[in-house]
Amino acid sequence: MQIAPSILSADFGHLARAVDAVEKAGADRIHIDVMDGLFVPNLSFGPQIVSVLRQETTLPLEVHLMVQHPEEWVKTFADAGADMLLVHLEATPHIHRALSLIKQTGMEPGVVINPGTSVDAIDMVLPIVKQVLVMTVDPGFGGQEFIPEMLEKTDELATIHDRDESLDFKIEIDGGVNPGTIKLAAKHGVDIAVAGSAVYDGGNPADNLHHLQKLAAEAE
């Protein structure tokens, strides 16, 4: 399982240092949470932060776009240097258009579903995406409690993926990943786990990341 540290819980005064620490510690990618205060009840950062971090790291940058009408922002984040753009089904009536636009820019398209959304709802776009992100908390904040029932959805996605050779997506979870929940996730088809507070909130980010990596590897 890959771990994607989320910089939402990092020290915003030293973001470059926070990314550097996890890059040296073997992070697979960096997860950047963009929030608009409308789709989710919080504001975070925008494309400038992606541009700045693009200069700081060679790791893939995946942008989790928690904004209304994400299709309007595709070019902006491609120009900023994002490698993957993850958009919520619930944020647009035009999810197919949004994902197709992302693909056209050369970024990898990913679709995200909230805890209240079922896997059935994304059936028609699975052939386009490279990632399906299952939210394991209601989006908007770091440090929330993992919702274990969401792993029924990762199991379902793993079954769909394994049944159809033409599909080519990774299964990712986001929210509440910690040393306890990562062991559970490893048994439910999860390829990538986002971890924010478990990496950056207390202790040493490199040690925290190594601990999560070790637990995930043992549980697989």
Ligand X SMILES: O=C(CO)[C@H](O)[C@H](O)COP(=O)(O)O
Catalytic residues: 33, 174
- Closer residue to ligand X, CB minimum distance, 44 or 92: 44
CB of 31 to Fe ion, least distance (A): 6
- Footprint of ligand X (CB under 6 A): 6, 8-9, 31, 33, 64, 137, 139-144, 174-177, 194-198
- Closer residue to ligand X, CB minimum distance, 64 or 161: 64
Query: Exposure of 80 by Cβ count < 10 A (0-12 exposed, 13-18 middle, 19+ buried)?
Result: buried
Rounded Cα distance, 219 and 112, in Å: 25
Binding residue per annotation — 146? Answer: no
Among 3, 15, 33, 71, binds Fe ion (CB under 5 A): 33
3-state helix, strand, coil split of the chain in percent (to 5) is 45, 20, 35
CB of 74 to Fe ion, least distance (A): 18
Query: How many chain residues bind Fe ion (CB under 5 A)?
Result: 3
Rounded Cα distance, 131 and 113, in Å: 11
* Structure-token pair, residue 7: 């910089």
The entry of Fe ion, ligand X, none that residue 86 binds, CB within 5 to 8 Å by partner kind = none
- Closer residue to Fe ion, CB minimum distance, 64 or 153: 64
Give the x-and-dash track for 46-85 against Fe ion (CB under 5 A). Answer: ------------------x---------------------
Binding residue per annotation — 174? Answer: yes
Per-position DSSP letters for 47-102, written without gaps between them: HHHHHHHHHH--S-EEEEEESSSGGGGHHHHHHHT-SEEEEEGGG-S-HHHHHHHH
By three-state DSSP, how is residue 15 classified? helix
List interacting residues with Fe ion (CB under 5 A). Answer: 33, 64, 174
